Amino acid sequence: MSQATKVDASVGARNRAIILTAAEKAFAAQGFKGTSVQQVADQAGLPKTNVLYYFKTKQELYLAVLKETMTLWNSSFDRATVNDDPAEMLADYIAEKMELSRTNPLASKIFAMEIINGAPNLNNYFDEEHSEWMEGRVSIINSWISSGKMQPIDPHYLLFNIWASTQHYADFSIQITRLRGAKMKKADFAEATKHLVTLTLNGCGLDVPEKYRIETR
Amino acid sequence: MSQATKVDASVGARNRAIILTAAEKAFAAQGFKGTSVQQVADQAGLPKTNVLYYFKTKQELYLAVLKETMTLWNSSFDRATVNDDPAEMLADYIAEKMELSRTNPLASKIFAMEIINGAPNLNNYFDEEHSEWMEGRVSIINSWISSGKMQPIDPHYLLFNIWASTQHYADFSIQITRLRGAKMKKADFAEATKHLVTLTLNGCGLDVPEKYRIETR
DNA sequence: TGGCACTATGACTGAATAGTCAGGTTTGAC
DNA sequence: GTCAAACCTGACTATTCAGTCATAGTGCCA
């Protein structure tokens, strides 16, 4: 790669990143239709045409944002095996998902709206990969159950429950803030995580690992 | 009320209802910005101007839909008292919320998008009423705890968890359908409800009432 | 110096769409 | 029959907005 290309690319890469950040914010706050390219441009501090220079269409920009979002979804639970301890794996998974809700609420919101609106931009590839992931996780949880490591429960419902309850803290943050009277801080998330882990693990008849135990005053 | 008014009103009422149903569908699928008055009109089988005759602006139509949605939110849990059995009350509340997700998924989706987008159309009145409701429920759960009827847990997190996990079946129905390979039917909802009740009540150290127990094969 | 690739942008266009308006019809009461 | 109120609608307007285009600047290298 020539020096020229390198430098030019770095300008491009920086602008792309700026635009993606601005777009994420706008799309999360107003959805795809509700966001204008002009708004993204303003947020990014660039002329609209410059945004369209990097991303030919609004759709392409949105897809780029969505794709970046997806890369966040990976977790240690992807690599769980039959030999792992269910309590620890599930607790860590919940904690990871909560940390994502805390640090990347916009990504969660965009994903949520995409699904609510019928997932028109998630292709078959995503569907298949997601289904495979699900199948794998279901079978591992089932083997934990059949080896007596945890109470019988349909793993599908368990996983849905974990997603729902963790993503809720990102997607419904406004409601939560208004009901609590204050925004959730890092410490509040830590507390909420313990509660979620406790609820879920007790729910499956598992012991809560030390570090997730709620201190009773 | 004169006969004329009655008849006229009934035409009006019928059309209003048709329009609201069409609008609910459209708003749930595409959000406020993504829905055009023309689309609602087509869905309702009426000319656009006729829709705007009944609802002066798109915003007014949306607010009417949102308001109808809110009337669904009431539940038996609103009237829980310290003397009630927490296991039964919570189980019934979860079951009611699940039934709402099954029968009124569109309402749930519209509400979810409204919150995700920062609740720009929910007024102070809603906020205050909602906060009061929350305070009341929290204090009842806390008295259940202090009278030893259930394990100590922060009622806020418990309620958030119930909302999240039940509404998930409405809001994320597309994802659930794709992952399961088939749409959730009434029987599947019954099964999911039992799982949710079991997870949640076990989570709080409560016995699951007979009717919600999962049959182990 | 000239050439190339990339970056940048103001001016414009065409389509979509919320909302208006003016005039029309229906319905029931008297 | 006639009046009023409610209902209905085609034609139009004003605005917003995605995307195009023609032109220009920048930085490197041969």
Share of chain B above pLDDT 70, in %: 95
pLDDT of B15 higher than 60: yes
Q: What is the pLDDT of residues B99-128, one digit of tens each?
A: 999 999 999 999 999 999 999 999 888 999
Domain spanning B3-65, CATH class: mainly alpha
Q: What is the pLDDT of residues A148-193, one digit of tens each?
A: 999 999 999 999 999 999 999 999 999 999 999 999 999 999 999 9
Contact B52, B71 (CB under 8 A): no
Contact A198, A208 (CB under 8 A): yes
User: Which of B157, B201, B216 best probes binding to A when mutated, by most A CB atoms within 10 angstroms?
Assistant: B157
pLDDT of B4 higher than 80: no
Nearest to A66 by CA among A34, A23, A103: A23
pLDDT of residue A170: 98
Name which of B161, B198, B204 is nearest A196 (Cβ-Cβ).
B161
Q: Which CATH superfamily is domain A74-207 in?
A: Tetracycline Repressor, domain 2 (1.10.357.10)
| Range list of β-strands (E), chain A | none
- Sorted by sequence, the CB contacts under 8 Å of residue B126 that are 6+ apart come out as B70
Contact between the CB of B38 and strand D at under 7 Å: no
pLDDT of residue B216: 65
**Å: B11 CA to D9 C1':** 17
Q: What is the pLDDT of residues A71-108, one digit of tens each?
A: 999 999 999 999 999 999 999 999 999 999 999 999 99
Q: Which amino acid is at A1?
A: M
Q: What are the CA-CA distances from residue B25 to residues A97, A117, B28, B104 (Å)?
A: 31, 11, 5, 11
CA B171 from chain centre, in angstroms, equals 10
- Sorted by sequence, the CB contacts under 8 Å of residue A118 that are 6+ apart come out as B29, B174
pLDDT bin (cut points 50, 70, 90) of residue B214 is: confident
pLDDT of residue A103: 98
Please work out, in degrees rounded to the nearest 5, the angle formed at the alpha carbon of residue A187 by the alpha carbons of A186 and A193. 90
Q: Is A125 on the interface with B (CB under 8 A)?
A: no
What is the fold of A3-58?
Answer: Arc Repressor Mutant, subunit A (1.10.10)
Q: What is the mean pLDDT of residues A200-213?
A: 94
pLDDT of residue B9: 52
Q: Does CATH number 1.10.357.10 belong to domain B72-212?
A: yes
**Å: A62 CA to D19 C1':** 15
Min distance B159 CA to chain A CA atoms (Å): 10
Q: Where are the domains of chain A?
A: 3-58, 74-207
Q: Which amino acid is at A65?
A: V
Q: What is the pLDDT of residues B124-176, one digit of tens each?
A: 889 999 999 999 999 999 999 999 999 999 999 999 999 999 999 999 999 99
Spatial separation of the C-alpha atoms in residues A61 and B56, rounded to whole Å:
35
pLDDT bin (cut points 50, 70, 90) of residue A5 is: very low
